[in-house]
Structure 1
Amino acid sequence: MADHQRIHPVEVSPEAQPPRPSAPLGSILRSEKVEPRGQGQHHVPMRRNVTYPVVPPPPKKKKSCLCKCICWTISLLILLLIIIGATIGILYLVFQPKLPIYSVDNLRISDLTLNFDLSLYARFNVKITAYNPNKNIGIYYEKGSHLSVWYKNINLCQGSIPRFYQGYQNKTVLNVALSGQNQYGRTLLEALQEQQQTGRIPLDLKINEPVSIKLKTLKLRKVKIIGTCKLVVDSLSTNSIISIKASTCSFGLKL
């Protein structure tokens, strides 16, 4: 038992022992320290290229040529209308224009004949009085006038007013000859004879007269006097003055 509990020393060979450090421990620790920046060597900082997003500039407002032209045209038209309106207003206040007054004095039938081809030939003579009530406006009655007599939308005859100048507050008597031919003569003549038995025959005298206005020494552009005189006569006897029982006239200007 005593022999088994003894501890015998073991010899260790020199190869199995750990090697001794060749340098002191302090020098090894000093060599492992990292030398701070700026000491012992020059450190060059690294620069990174940073790319920023490019923001486009706000778009410029561009007005098209067409819009500008339209705006200028509308502005000029409005300005022109204002100038024309102001001019007309001033002229109206200064001259105070009035329409001429017309009246039918008498009506004579020279001819009312049924031809062999059953067309009706009519010839009327109309006496008209035209009065210019304006104090500072003269009227030129121009070429191209049209005067006609109608019975229930049927044209009986037509003619024209002669050219003349009518001065301020002037009254002019016109004798106008009208003639015409209607192909439905027999039917028309029978209707006129039947209407004549009542003693009231409706006739329409229509006027379409181009005129030029004269303001003192200034002659303006042409306008048209358009109107109708509604007549009621007692008969259509030829070669005799016909009695006009009623007469209503209305006229206006057409530019």
Structure 2
Amino acid sequence: MEKTRTQMTGDKPKIHPAVDVEAPPPTAPLISRGLATSEKGGSSQSQQQPPLPLRTMPAAMQSSKPQKTRSCCCKCVCWTVGLLVLLLVIVGATAGILYLVFKPKIPNYSVDSLSISDLRLNFDMSLYAKFDVKITANNPNKKIGIYYEKGGLLSVWYTNTKLCAGSIPKFYQGHQNITKLDVSLTGQTQYGSTLLRALQEQQQTGRIPLDLKVDAPVSIKLGRLKLRKVTILGDCLLVVDSLSTNNLISIKASNCRFKLKL
């Protein structure tokens, strides 16, 4: 009957594959399984699983940067201190060599004579004074010359009151040279009547204290080298017998001190 039905319908017989009962069930690939799992629970899995911790550097590597910075700062400080010490040593050695070679000495001065050309009261009761001072400047250095620059000043004081002042001339003083200077000093002081009265009272004793001050900017010449300006400061305490005009005044005592101001 089956053959007759097949032949009558003209259909081809269907062949079904045989099923192996003992074979294991097929499994899906690992990649597809993972993808399926992520597709099914992607949102919930991203919320449940915490993010992976960032990879941190070891403690030894983290503390290495501050140590390097501190070491660099210490090196800079050490180099700076070393250079300063070296510079001081060089300057000190140079100064020592120059001192041994040239043996510098401070020039000294002496007041030879003092005379008063004019000493009177003006109509405004100010005291006008005109002094003439002769000074000897001595340069004792064998290898050092002295340039007396413009701006030198010589002044006479009485009890902290300046009576008169004058300019020291500009000149060059060579090695072991003695130069005599004649300086004219003039000045005008307020409250002249009180000051003149005090001078007259002091004159009766025969001992009038005066202070002669020197302020002289100079340049030192070492061989052919001319150094920068320094200032010679001098202070001569004089005791004279009188202040009479147009007469040579006797200097009874003189004490002079000098120093250099760099």
TM above 0.5 = yes
Alignment of 1:97-246 (within 5 A): 97-246=104-253
Instruction: Classify the secondary structure of the residue corresponding to 1:57.
Output: helix
- Provide the rounded CA distance (Å) in 1 between the counterparts of 2:245 and 2:259: 33
Q: 1:57 aligns with which of 57, 60, 66?
A: 60
Deviation at 1:253, TM superposition (A): 0.5
Aligned residues: percent identity? 70
Instruction: Please tell me the residue identity of whatever aligns with 1:85.
Output: G
Deviation at 1:77, TM superposition (A): 2.4
Q: Deviations over 1:21-74 (max 9, x none)?
A: xxxxxxxxxxxxxxxxxxxxxxxxxxxxxxxx9852252212357665554443
- Provide the rounded CA distance (Å) in 1 between the counterparts of 2:212 and 2:231: 16
- Provide the rounded CA distance (Å) in 2 between the counterparts of 1:176 and 1:194: 27
Distance 1:118 1:66, change over 3 A: farther
Instruction: Please tell me the residue identity of whatever aligns with 2:59.
Output: P
Alignment of 1:30-45 (within 5 A): none
- Matching residue of 1:42: none
- Matching residue of 1:12: none
Q: Which moved more, 1:55-64 or 1:102-111?
A: 55-64
- Provide the rounded CA distance (Å) in 1 between the counterparts of 2:261 and 2:226: 17
Instruction: Please tell me the residue identity of whatever aligns with 2:118.
Output: D
Distance 1:92 1:188, change over 3 A: same
- Provide the rounded CA distance (Å) in 2 between the counterparts of 1:209 and 1:230: 17
What's the TM-score, normalizing by structure 2? 0.74
- Provide the rounded CA distance (Å) in 2 between the counterparts of 1:100 and 1:245: 23
Distance 1:66 1:227, change over 3 A: farther
Deviation at 1:103, TM superposition (A): 0.1
Instruction: Please tell me the residue identity of whatever aligns with 1:113.
Output: R
- Matching residue of 1:87: 94
- Provide the rounded CA distance (Å) in 2 between the counterparts of 1:123 and 1:66: 66
What's the TM-score, normalizing by structure 1? 0.76
- Provide the rounded CA distance (Å) in 2 between the counterparts of 1:238 and 1:103: 22
Structure 1: segments with no counterpart, 5+ residues: 1-52
Instruction: Classify the secondary structure of the residue corresponding to 1:63.
Output: helix
Distance 1:181 1:66, change over 3 A: farther
Q: Which structure has greater helix proportion? A: 2
- Provide the rounded CA distance (Å) in 2 between the counterparts of 1:209 and 1:73: 39
